Chain A
Amino acid sequence: MDPKMVEVIDAAGIPETTKNDLKKLMEGHTISSEQFEQIMRQVYVEYKATRVEPCEAVGVIAAQSIGEPGTQMTMRTFHYAGVAEINVTLGLPRLIEIMDARKSPSTPTMTIYLEGEYSKNRDHARDVSWQIEATRLNEFGDVSTDLVQMMVTVKINREVCEKRKVTVEEIIERAPDKIKQKRHYRDFVPEPDVDNELIIFYPKDRESYQNLFQLANHVRDVIVQGIDDIERVVVRKESGEYILYTEGSNLKDVFEVSGVDRYRTRTNNISEISEVLGIEAGRNAIIDEALSTLREQGIDVDVRHIMMVADMMCMEGEVKQIGRHGIAGEKESVLSRAAFEVTVNHLLDAAVANESDILQGVTENVIVGQPIQLGTGDVKLIAKPFK
């Protein structure tokens, strides 16, 4: 391509994406300078024609654009997204979940990307997955309850440990601590026996069988390797690299695991992202999640609409729900809140606090019956007739 043309394109007052498109699509075509001039002129005209107009009610358009296709979405909660082994909530329920800004989604999952060597080699990837997948003590050995001697014995299997890249010592050390830490259960005395790969747990109360069985349950279920919230990890090869998919999500702890690519790893838990990585990341997570939910259903919605919703949700610096307990409930206008939900309470509270409604929003002005401050109602220019 003619370097002069590239220069002209680079200097033009159009968005980067358009410049790149131009360069990419013009590649391999012979273009005369006249044609080029014509192209640039048309591009410029079109660019100008696609600007938004002031006073446009962009919020309502965004809400309608996302809401209207909602009727076409499926209710099927579970779906296998990419990986047959992991269930993910999709469709309308997922969209509602995103807009509700739930603390945790109904099916938290993570997509963990790996760094360098870990992403190339299946075994290395598997090693990382051992570090992440929550594994209970009973998977490392046999847990047996001795009713005569009133004790719980764990015989640790060295082979399993080797496969999962932990030492027996580590497990023997970790198990009692973890029970005390996570389960808040302290009525026992552990007796580690590293040489025989054994741990024996004695309940403090030597009389009660109930206690013993409770202890046995705790011992069996204590997570001795991996991250507590992550129930399952699946290793998959995708476009030349190994990726881990998980059931359950804990971004902060996964970031600590060596071999994890912190730049690309993601979770579908939006509030977790905004807590760990900040509100801007949370906003992007909302956009990504909402967009992929809609895309998966074959619904085409412009990003700008979703950005609008995401920006509104993140306006205050924390992820706010779309609805009564978030944006709609914290509006300034009494009438607008009253017209949305819990009408009477808003009115009663407004009276005591001596709130006043300055009638700026849409609902308020509709209620009192005057033009709204949007679109043509927002134009304050009035022509004075000649005297």
Chain B
Amino acid sequence: MPSPKRVGRIEFGLLSPKEIRKMSVRKIIWADTYDDDGFPYPQGLMDLHLGVIDPGLRCKTCGNKASDCPGHFGHIELAKPVTHVGYTRLIRKLLRVSCRECSRLLLSPDEVYKILGPEEERNTDVITEKDVKKERICPHCGAQQNKVNFEKPTTFSEIWTDENGRKVDHKLTPADIRSRLERIPDEDLRLLGINPDVARPEWTLITVLPVPPVTMRPSIILENGQRSEDDLTHKLVDIIRINQRFKENQDAGAPQLIIEDLWELLQYHVTTYMDNEVAGCPPARHRSGRPLKTISQRLKGKDGRFRGSLSGKRVNFSGRTVISPDPNMSIGQVGIPLSIANEMSVPIRVTPFNIEEVRAMVLKGPVRGSLTEPCGANYAIRPDNRRVRLNELTCETVAEQLEPGWAVDRQLRNNDIVLFNRQPSLHRMSIMAHRIVLMNGRTFRLNPAVCPPYNADFDGDEMNLHVPQTEEARAEAHMLCSVYKNILSPRFGGPIIGGIHDHISGLFLLTHTLRWFVKEEVISLIKFNPPEHLPKPGKVENGIEYWSNKQVFSMILPDGLNLVYHSSSCKDCEVCKKDDCEQDSYVQIRDGQLITGTIDKKSIGAFKGNILQRTIRQYGQARGAQFIDDFTKLSVRAIMFDGFSFGIDDEDLTKTEYKQIDEGLDEAMRDVKRRIQIYEDGQLEPMPGRTLEETLEMQIMQVLGKARDKTGEIAGRHLGLSNSAVVMAVSGARGSMLNLTQMAGCIGQQAVRGERITRGYEDRTLPHFKRGDRGAPAHGFVRNSYKSGLTPTEFFFHAIGGREGLVDTAVRTSQSGYLQRRMINALQDLKVAYDMTVRTTGGRIIQFQYGEDGTDPSKACFGDPVDVRGVLENVLKEEV
């Protein structure tokens, strides 16, 4: 591909009437578009000189067909000048700072010197409206100045008091303004921050209106054969009509009143043509009542030209479908349905070395019926860049013609590299490069361990897939975007890809306390990732060989790994019992062998995984990825070994517990009542800086919170590690003890904005309660558990609390999205320069050394440049 010319710079300026006429290829005088035969009128808005959009016709200016003609501008001569809405503020400023007689700047050279300083030292500062005092006398010609009034959207007037002391309001027509601005000397304009070489101020009063080419406002043909014109064309039709009438009236010498009305109407149409959302101006509407989308609206906003079409574009070679999990795949793979692989392609150039291979693909054509068949090809590209669609008819002839210099769009096949993405793309790990695996079915398959970076789940999420088309793009995807290169997050330097949910509970169940497996069991556990040979059995009893559960897990650990830490089930005892820990949460890995401890979230989980982090730092990304692949498979086997389920009867407690829970809650209720009594008796001592009510509320919230937690303790004590929910909470796989408390014990206080629910009826939340009742049930305390079921009032309060959460999420996403957009926009141009300073692309220095120490957070160990502890543990082979 020849490298396109580089755009060096883009200069902005105004178009002068002269330039508009010069670039115009046709003067437009007819408001009509097409005649009865469907042929454009000459000098009409769809004139063939302006470019063509219908296939078959040729442009009368450049002679090209619709696909090659870029379009050409025309022009409309306006009967009288009109103001440009976008420049009304500039016009106001210029009228106020220039003399009404001589049009010079209303400041003497001395005053200018005072404001801007000596000529040599002037920077970008310019004279503003405020620098000129109102209604003064011109220092150049001595003329008395008048106040210039501006009324939205486009009306200007002068106000002065005449001899009789009456206020006179004299309207300034655009023609008056134009003649005033014309006389402002160039030097004065420079002081005002205007470059007269490209932007004379009188050009903001339009005398000639450029007519954009038809390619910019194509008409569409509806199903019934009717033409539907673009909004801009509609607006131009209006302008030409009024302009025509204006001219006729002017030539016929119509009364001033009519002329003024028409002038104003022309002004309205030109205004709305530029911007249809001007304040104080009713928007021009389509027949259906929909406001027209004119030039300003095309550029503005999220779907406007800038944000919608220039900064981001629609692309080819992309696919989208639902995702589903497959733990037997590597994290770096993605399973794609055959139907998608057949549709998407990679171009390959035909060379003498691959011609036979490519010919086979071309012969195969676009139909690939099963996973095992080799890939075919969809298109052949001839040396003259013409595409030939391959099908049963063409593929044989094309295969014969094929020779070096051609290119062929080959279908995707196993191990092709693709970019995989899930919106919202909040960080760079939202787009990663995967290798594809063709699969049956209709969904994209991915290893659940890569869910955290995408923030994906499988409740119906869809994801996008893009196929890089050039060798450079594939190289960058492989070297920079690959899943393996993104296991460690640059946000905090820890792993973002790692075990989730069942991976964690599976390995927790496998490694918790000591267990022994016979050979058959061991092999069934590790059959997806077998080591070269089984280690020596941990014990032999009665001639039977046994391996411990820790040995089984150690088989997937990297050789020689040394690591000691506390797992997430650690209860933070004051003195650690180490080897004798009751929770088995003292994890020791020596020389690649798990000695004690349970593997859980802190070991292999995403965000926290200690083993994962250490493996990647010491053994590299490939080994880290291998480890993730291994444990995802092992954990699935392990969880299936015992089985793992959770049902309604898992929340069952015995009568004693229910009694204890009831007693606890009754006690809390009595406590609340007592405190209310104290308050009502006026005995309550307020907390410093709080009112009595606030103090009481805080006390009640505290009492009820404690009561709820107590029920959880009672439930937790009874359930223990034999309960699935407890296993999940303790291992960190999913949920917390609070969730269990709410299921088995008591849901607790429902809150709105951190306070008890007080809204509703007069002095009460619901008509079920007495007025002024301050008790717990009347203000949203839910005594029941999810298991026991809620009473109607409790259910209502619970819904109130739940609603708050939903609103919160909705508001938060939009707010944080905007914050991120702003931050990206502010920081996007920063990079590390070759001298290790941080600079903008323009070369301004922001930091002399990145992050004050030049450490890359994605390579650092949770922020530290060197993982000293890790190095020491590795060398000394003991806990540091």
Q: Is the CB of B827 within 8 A of A49?
A: no
Residue of B nearest to A44 (CB): B866
B816 interface residue, CB < 8 Å from A? yes
The complex places the Cα of A289 from the Cα of B68 at a distance, in Å, of 57
Given A304-B855, A343-B304: A43 and B868 interface contact (C-beta under 8 Å) = yes
User: Are B491 and A18 within 8 A (Cβ)?
Assistant: no
| Contact (A62, B827) CB under 8 Å given A85-B690, A356-B11, A360-B842 | yes
B 7-31 contacts with A by CB, 8 A: 7-14
> With contacts A26-B872, A62-B827, A351-B14 known, is A73 near B812, CB below 8 A?
yes
Contact present for A85 and B688 (CB under 8 Å): yes
From A71, A302, A327, A373, contact of B863 by CB (8 A): A302
Interface residue? A8 (CB, 8 A): no
With contact pairs A59-B829, A234-B689 given, residues A71 and B816 touching in the complex (Cβ less than 8 Å) = yes
Q: Taking the complex as formed, is B186 at the interface, i.e. its CB lies under 8 A from any CB of chain A? A: no
Contacting pair B12 A70 (CB below 8 A) = no
B827 touches which one: A39, A51, A59, A338 (CB < 8 A)? A59
Identify which of residues 865-880 in chain B touch chain A, using a CB-to-CB cut-off of 8 Å: 865-869, 871-872, 874-876, 878, 880
Per-residue B-contact encoding for A66-82, CB less than 8 Å = 1, 0 else: 11111101111011000
- Interchain CA distance A323-B818 in the complex, whole Å: 10
Select which of A67, A303, A322, A378 is within 8 A of B831 by beta carbon.
A378
Interface string of A345-378 (1 = CB under 8 A from B): 1011011111111111111001110100111101
Residues on the B chain within 8 Å of A26, using CB: 872
A304 CA / B480 CA spacing, docked (Å) = 21
Which residues does chain B contribute within 8 Å of A347, judged by CB atoms?
Answer: 12, 299
Question: How many whole Å from B201's CB to the nearest CB in chain A?
Answer: 8
Q: B850–A304 contact, CB under 8 A?
A: yes
If A14-B865, A84-B687, A303-B863 touch, whether A70 touches B820 (CB-CB below 8 Å) is yes
Give chain A residues whose Cβ lies under 8 Å from the Cβ of B476: 376
B466-490 near A? 1/0 per residue, CB < 8 Å: 0000000000100010000000001
Convert A311-329 into 0s and 1s, putting 1 for each residue whose CB lies closer than 8 angstroms to a CB of B: 1100100000011101110
Whether B698 sits at the interface, judged by CB under 8 Å, is yes
Q: Which of B4, B310, B824, B874 contacts A67, CB < 8 Å?
A: B824
Q: From A92-100, A165-173, A206-214, give the one contacting chain B.
A: A92-100
Shortest Cβ distance from residue B3 to the other chain A in the assembled complex, whole angstroms: 10
Mark the stretch among B191-199, B223-231, B371-379, B532-540 that contacts chain A.
B191-199
- Determine, out of B261-269, B665-673, B768-776, B833-841, the stretch whose residues face the partner at the interface: B833-841
Contact A67 B816 (CB under 8 A): yes
Interface residue B826 (Cβ < 8 Å from any Cβ of A): yes
B311 touches A18 (CB 8 A): no
Whether a CB of chain B sits under 8 angstroms from the CB of A53 is yes
CA distance A221 to B840 in the complex (A): 52
Task: Assess the B860–A50 pair: CB atoms within 8 A.
Answer: yes
Known: A39-B871, A65-B490, A357-B10. A71 touches B853 (CB 8 A): no
Q: Is B442 an interface residue (CB 8 A)?
A: no
Residues of A within 8 A of B863 (CB): 302-304
Contact B816 A370 (CB under 8 A): no
Q: Is the CB of A54 within 8 A of B311?
A: no
- Complex Cα distance, B864 from A14, in Å, reads 12
Among residues 13 to 38 in chain A, which have CB atoms less than 8 Å away from a CB atom of chain B? 14-15, 17-18, 21-22, 25-26, 29, 31, 35, 38
Query: A residues within 8 A CB of B9?
Result: 356-359
Q: Report Cα–Cα, A275/B249, bound state, in Å.
A: 65
Chain B residue with Cβ nearest A363 = B311
Q: Is residue A121 within 8 Å, beta carbon to beta carbon, of the partner chain?
A: no
A376 to B470, CA, bound (A): 15
Asked if A52 lies at the interface with its beta carbon under 8 angstroms from chain B, I say yes
Taking a contact as CB atoms closer than 8 A, the residue among B811, B827, B838, B878 that contacts A60 in the complex is B827
A61 at the interface (CB under 8 A from B): yes
Instruction: Check A142 for interface membership: any CB of B closer than 8 A.
Output: no
Once A47-B865, A52-B855 are accepted as A-B contacts, the answer to whether A64 and B872 lie under 8 Å apart by CB is no
B7 and A370: CB pair below 8 A?
yes
Q: Is the CB of A315 within 8 A of B846?
A: yes
- Residues A54 and B829 in contact in the complex (CB < 8 Å), given A67-B819, A345-B86, A356-B11: no
Which residues of the partner chain A approach B304 to less than 8 Å between Cβ atoms? 343
Least Cβ distance of A50 to chain B in Å?
A: 4
B828 located at the interface, meaning its Cβ lies under 8 Å from any Cβ of chain A in the complex: yes
Tell me, in angstroms, the Cα distance from A13 to B876 when the chains sit together: 23
Q: Decide yes or no whether A185 CB sits under 8 A from chain B.
A: no
Which residues of A approach B to under 8 Å, CB–CB?
Answer: 14-15, 17-18, 21-22, 25-26, 29, 31, 35, 38-39, 42-43, 46-47, 49-71, 73-76, 78-79, 84-86, 92, 95-96, 99, 232, 234, 247, 300-305, 307-309, 311-312, 315, 322-324, 326-328, 332, 334-336, 338-340, 343-345, 347-348, 350-363, 366-368, 370, 373-376, 378
Binding site for A on B (CB under 8 A): 4, 6-14, 86-87, 90, 193-195, 197-199, 201, 204, 275, 296, 299-301, 304, 306-307, 310-311, 426-428, 476, 480, 490-494, 607, 617, 687-690, 698, 753-754, 808, 811-813, 815-817, 819-820, 822-834, 836, 838, 840-842, 844, 846-847, 850-860, 862-869, 871-872, 874-876, 878, 880
The 8 closest A-B pairs by CB, nearest first: A59-B830, A67-B820, A304-B851, A70-B816, A59-B827, A354-B195, A302-B857, A63-B823
